């Protein structure tokens, strides 16, 4: 079974630009959540999608948005990039059950390393 796939693996952008990251969950997984990871900080929760609906949202500005398609693939968009947006963006999927925040373990992708210059 293929794991969670994130593309692209690396991305370099300049301030003010926008970026779209993609995540394909494990087949059969309907919940997809996104995290931002920076050195010295814990994973910061961005949002979670389930069956094309945003079910949970973290404390990030409106520049961060996402969506999920009918095949469970998800995209995350960041507009008007700032230097502080440089981070590893991780996507995780979880199997059918009570959702990403129960005792269902998360399956992570390898992430997209975003550098904003």
Partner 1 sequence: GQNIDQPTEMTATEGAIVQINCTYQTSGFNGLFWYQQHAGEAPTFLSYNVLDGLEEKGRFSSFLSRSKGYSYLLLKELQMKDSASYLCAVIDSNYQLIWGAGTKLIIKP
Catalog residues that contact partner 1 under the rule CB under 8 A. Answer: 3-4, 35, 40-45, 56, 58, 90, 99-103, 105-111
Q: Shortest distance, CB of residue 79 to partner 1, whole angstroms?
A: 24
| Closer by beta carbon to partner 1, 20 or else 44 | 44
| Gap between the Cα atoms of 75 and 15, Å rounded | 20
Nearer of residues 85 and 111 to partner 1, judged by Cβ:
111
Residues 86-100: b if buried by 16+ CB within 10 A, e if exposed? bbbbbbbbbeeeeeb
């Amino acid at each position: 079974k293929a794991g969670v796939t994130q593309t692209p693996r690396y991305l370099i952008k300049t301030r003010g630009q926008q970026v779209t990251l993609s995540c394909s969950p494990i087949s059969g997984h309907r919940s997809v959540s996104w995290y931002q990871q920076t050195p010295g900080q814990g994973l910061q929760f961005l949002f979670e999608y389930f069956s094309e609906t945003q079910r949970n949202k973290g404390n990030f500005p409106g520049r961060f948005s996402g969506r999920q398609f009918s095949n469970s693939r998800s995209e995350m968009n960041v507009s008007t990039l700032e230097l502080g947006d440089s981070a590893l963006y991780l996507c995780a999927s979880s199997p059918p059950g009570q959702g990403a925040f129960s005792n269902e373990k998360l399956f992570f992708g390898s992430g997209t390393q975003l550098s904003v210059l």
